[in-house]
Chains A and B, each alone.
Chain A
Amino acid sequence: MASGGRPLPTLQVEATGAAATVRLAGDWTLRFLGPRLDELQGRLRALGGEAGWDLSGVSRLDSFGAMLLWRHWGRRRPVGLVLPAELEGVFGRLAELGDTRLEARAPYRFFDGTAQVGRAVFGFGRHLLQFVALVGQLCLDLAYLLRYRGHWPLLEISANFYKVGVQAMPVTALVGFLIGVVLSYLSALQLQLFGADVFIVNILGFGIIRELGPVLVAVLVAGRSGSAMTAQIGVMRVTEEIDALTTMGISRYVRLVLPKVVALTLAMPLVTLWGSSMALFGGMVAANLQLGLSFDFFLNALPRAVPAVNLLIGLSKGAVFGLLIALVACHFGLRVRPNTESLSANTTASVVSSITVVILVDAVFAIATRSIGLPR
């Protein structure tokens, strides 16, 4: 690094008889000390404690350089210090600072682990309580909106529907198609072994319409729209937009939460239908290429193999998943505190929780509908 004409910091030891004098010169500033820090600190350590100090050659001294010397002197002025008047100020500040310390962090004790578990349990309880309060508030708002029909946030619902439904179509189509292809291809390899080629229709039909389609789309939508909802509400909290709404007498639940919940509940069955169709189409293509089943045969065999009630189950799952994803996303969005760390933590928590909730509820669905729509 070029010094730009400034003198570099130097340190010289002059031994006169028994006492040594340390002469400092040049710019003792962070800019020039930084690159030579290790070397200079090593030389400082090598000095004895008895030395006298002469700083009259120092052209500049900033608080970093002063701190370096101050720490070496053990936080006091050494005897026989020659200090030019213009450098008094820096050491004055250091002397004023004294030996202040940070509050020490309490050491980790055995029972802290127990306390952590307790805090986690109470935290989970608070989450549940707030979630129930959110659902309750939405029910109250719905009752209010049933009486005053003009207050429905129709514009917001429509905008959200477009965002979570229409704009999600390309990605669900792509992922659905590819999953369909993979599922069909792998199943076909197995079925060929037993000569049970035609059962590919049953496997794909049941698997995709009843199970894979809704869950796959729910995971995609949770990652795509759930995170966006949490982040949007969270940022609105950070920038005090939600407070601005409240002071205008507009309920955040009616204007922000309800449109998202309604839109996603309505859009999810349709996106599920779209995603499942695409997955079936992908499966059909792969079955045609791998097993030579014609599209005609596939489409004719599908309603015979899979009763129509399975489609209803799949779509209802979609609606319920949509409702849950939107509620979880809004719940976490409203918990965001005004800092970036909280925003990112809540967005992550929102996506992870909504996917977990979707899979839990899917298991409940599987048990509750075990006697409906399955061949005996």
Chain B
Amino acid sequence: MPAYPVELCGVSTRFGHAWVHRNIDLAVPAGEVVALVGGSGTGKTTLLRQVVGLLQPAEGEVRLFGEPLAGGSRADQLARRRRLGMLFQQGALFSALNVFANVAFPLREFGIRDEGMLRDLVLLKLAMVELGPEVALRMPAELSGGMVKRVALARALALEPELLLLDEPTAGLDPDRSAGFVRLIRALHKALGLTVILVTHDLDTLAALATRVAVLSEGRILAFGPLDEIMRVPDPFIERFFHGERSQAALARGRELG
């Protein structure tokens, strides 16, 4: 039985005196697409940042691939980090580097020096996110919002991660673009066999992508399971979140996409 790619054991988070999370346990099985949902301010992004080690939980432990996040030597930690890729909400492309250099950056850091190999790999990653070689020499400031996300995804995929974390992957994209981006992530998930954790407000995206949903409310995981099961949980938050008229329409659209 292989270890879970991500495991949260009793994670609690505190900002000042306010507890954001209380004793959260969550195990993400390999190959699943898990969506974290919850109202504003329930700490979805905070949880995601704890998984990649940008934030330390006040209590509890985050385990990646069966090992504690901060455990082992420096080299072990680096190797562990290289097994995950993260797509930030605003893309977080290095604005001083062009698209090619942005995608090549993690590969160069990994130690790949062969320029021919680098070029082929970067162009392959760009092709995987449906971008042609003509964008490779542009600067991030010259890209549209959708393209920034695609390039950021290509960069996140550069080191062949086993785990992909997406923070609001479709926020700020128009419906057409966001449908395209969702299709892209689905295709990549299928082709590469990734484990994906995503945070989203967008029910279209949720219904189209997620194989499992974790609902965060009042500092704990309210429910964790496939979407259809979650929908049947009797809870006022889930009622409001999933059963409104707009929500139903969005879910239907997303299912059509998936």
Contact = CB atoms under 8 A, between A and B. Distances in A.
A203 interface: no
Given A102-B137, A339-B141, 4 more contacts: A2-B76, A64-B160, A89-B191, A102-B136
A68 B117 CA distance: 8
A67 interface: yes
Contact of B133 (A5, A62, A93, A102): A102
B96 A63 contact: no
Contacts of B136: 102
A1 B133 CA distance: 35
Interface stretch (A26-34, A115-123, A217-225, A309-317): A26-34
A4 interface: yes
29 contacts: A1-B79, A4-B66, A30-B160, A31-B79, A31-B160, A37-B111, A37-B112, A62-B160, A63-B121, A63-B160, A67-B120, A68-B117, A71-B120, A89-B191, A93-B127, A94-B124, A96-B127, A97-B127, A101-B133, A102-B123, A102-B136, A103-B133, A103-B134, A103-B137, A337-B141, A338-B141, A340-B96, A341-B95, A341-B96
Interface in A272-324: none
B127 to A, nearest CB: 5
A102 B100 CA distance: 10
A67 B160 contact: no
A114 interface: no
Interface in A107-146: none
A29 B82 CA distance: 12
Contact of A339 (B133, B140, B192): B140
Interface string A15-33: 0000000000000011100
Nearest to B113: A37
Interface in B50-103: 65-66, 75-76, 79, 82-83, 95-96, 100
Contacts, number: 73
A247 interface: no
B139 interface: yes
Contacts of A63: 121, 124-125, 128, 160
Interface string A63-106: 11001100100000000000000000100011011001111000
Task: Give the interface size class of chain B.
Answer: 35 or more
Would you list the 10 A-B pairs with minimal beta carbon distance, nearest first? A339-B95, A341-B96, A62-B160, A30-B160, A339-B141, A340-B95, A100-B133, A97-B127, A100-B123, A64-B160
B159 interface: yes
Majority DSSP secondary structure for residues of A touching B: helix
Interface residues of A, number: 29
Interface of B: 2, 65-66, 75-76, 79, 82-83, 95-96, 100, 110-112, 116-117, 119-121, 123-125, 127-128, 132-134, 136-137, 139-141, 159-160, 191-192
Contacts of A67: 117, 120-121, 124
A67 B141 CA distance: 30
Contact of A4 (B65, B100, B139): B65
Given A1-B75, A30-B159, A71 B116 contact: yes
Contacts of B160: 29-31, 62-64
A30 B157 CA distance: 12
B99 to A, nearest CB: 11
B139 A339 contact: yes
A62 B159 CA distance: 10
Interface in A334-376: 337-341
Given A31-B160, A89-B191, A339 B96 contact: yes
Nearest to A34: B110
Contacts of B79: 1, 31
Interface string A24-62: 000001110010010000000000000000000000001
B124 A93 contact: yes
A62 B120 contact: no
